[in-house]
Amino acid sequence: MAIEHAAPGQVIDVQPLAGKLSEARTAALFKTDALEVMRLIVPAHKTVPSHQVIGEVTVQCLEGEVDFTADGQTQRLKAGQLLWLEGGVAHGLTAVQDASLLVTITLRK
Amino acid sequence: MAIEHAAPGQVIDVQPLAGKLSEARTAALFKTDALEVMRLIVPAHKTVPSHQVIGEVTVQCLEGEVDFTADGQTQRLKAGQLLWLEGGVAHGLTAVQDASLLVTITLRK
């Protein structure tokens, strides 16, 4: 079932999915001309290949752990940790454990 | 002591502060031309008066509970819940319990 984008002011749950994480799928939460927010689901050992976007990005680990690589440097990102990147910086990740991440992307026309 | 802004790629802890929440203060995490992220600390019963910003905003409750008002409508926002607003929408909040919130603001020149 496709998940509808959240309307402005609509409360969105981003609690850890815990036992439901293994069945969850990546979902766009909302998108405007300037901002896109998604919940990324990454099963253990899966990789999101290196890529880049034009604007700034924040990546917040909601649960699990990932090895996050940006600009050739890899570091562990655990539940409750956040990092941000300038636009145009190549980044990717590999899940160490089943993980979900809140990803916020600044869009520019 | 002033808190330095986080550099790109620097891991920032946004776990619940729990026992340290009552001594914590609002902190800017980073700011660019396009995006500003802060951790807002609001003690129980304190109010952030209604205000507005030009760009889109996301508000994520990291811990505690707040009554969040946007466009005249109030709803409870609890730990692990997020909402977003279009730019220009008046919003404010009152903490029901000691709370910390991750606030992301899209900036436009």
pLDDT tens for residues A59-104?
Answer: 999 999 999 999 999 999 999 999 999 999 999 999 999 999 999 9
Q: Average pLDDT for residues B30-41, to the nearest whole number?
A: 96
How far apart CA A37 and CA A34 sit, in angstroms, is: 10
**pTM, full prediction:** 0.95
- Is residue B29 within 8 angstroms of chain A, CB to CB? yes
Q: Does B69 score more than 70 pLDDT?
A: yes
Query: Which residue does chain A place closest to B88, by CA atoms?
Result: A8
- Could you tell me what percent of chain B has a pLDDT over 90? 93
- Asked if the Cβ–Cβ distance from B84 to A55 is below 8 Å, we say no
Q: How does residue B48 score in pLDDT terms, banded at 50, 70 and 90?
A: very high
- Asked if the Cβ–Cβ distance from A11 to B71 is below 8 Å, we say no
How far apart CA A8 and CA A16 sit, in angstroms, is: 22
DSSP secondary structure string for all residues of B38-50? EEEEE-TT-EEEE
- Is residue B67 within 8 angstroms of chain A, CB to CB? no
Q: CA angle B82-A50-A17, nearest 5°?
A: 30
- The ipTM of this complex is 0.94
Q: Does B46 score more than 70 pLDDT?
A: yes
- Is residue B75 within 8 angstroms of chain A, CB to CB? yes
How far apart CA A92 and CA B94 sit, in angstroms, is: 38
pLDDT at residue B4 in the model: 77
Helix (H, G, I), strand (E, B) or coil at B18: helix
Task: Record the tokens describing residue B59, joined without a space.
Answer: 């508000």
pLDDT at residue B84 in the model: 98
Beta-bridge partners for B63:
B100
pLDDT tens for residues A4-47?
Answer: 799 999 999 999 999 999 999 999 999 999 999 999 999 999 99
Q: Average pLDDT for residues B38-67, to the nearest whole number?
A: 97
Q: Does B81 score more than 80 pLDDT?
A: yes
Q: Average pLDDT for residues B57-76, to the nearest whole number?
A: 97
